[in-house]
Structures are given as C-alpha cells and as structure tokens.
Amino acid sequence: MKKQHLPQKICVSCGLSFDWRKKWQRCWDEVRYCSERCRRQNKSKSK
C-alpha cells in the first residue's frame, strides 16, 4: 500500500490527523491517540 492511500484518524487529544502505522496493524480500531505523549496528556486531564 502506498503512503498516500493509508487510512487516517483524528487524535482525540490534540485534534491532528495521523496515518496508519504497521505497529497498529492488529489494533487499528482501538487506536485513539497519535502519540504516547497525547495519550498521557489526556489521562492527566481526566483526573
């Protein structure tokens, strides 16, 4: 698959779009954040 045809999502934390990555191949449906930093930042907001 070419890079231009990869699926995209919007990060729940920062609102930026991010592309599919090979490491997310098996869990793409559960991915919500573009990075570990956004995931950690969102957890701290909810406390």
Mean pLDDT for the chain overall: 89
3-state percent helix, strand, coil for the chain, nearest multiple of 5: 35, 15, 50
Distance CA 26, CA 44 (A): 27
Examine the pLDDT at 8 and tell me if it is beyond 70: yes
Q: What pLDDT, on the 0 to 100 scale, is given for residue 23?
A: 93
Distance CA 42, CA 36 (A): 10
Examine the pLDDT at 45 and tell me if it is beyond 90: no
Q: Per-residue pLDDT tens for 9-25?
A: 999 999 999 999 999 99
* Strand intervals (E) in 1-47: 8-10, 17-19
Confidence grade of residue 46 (pLDDT, cut at 50, 70, 90): low
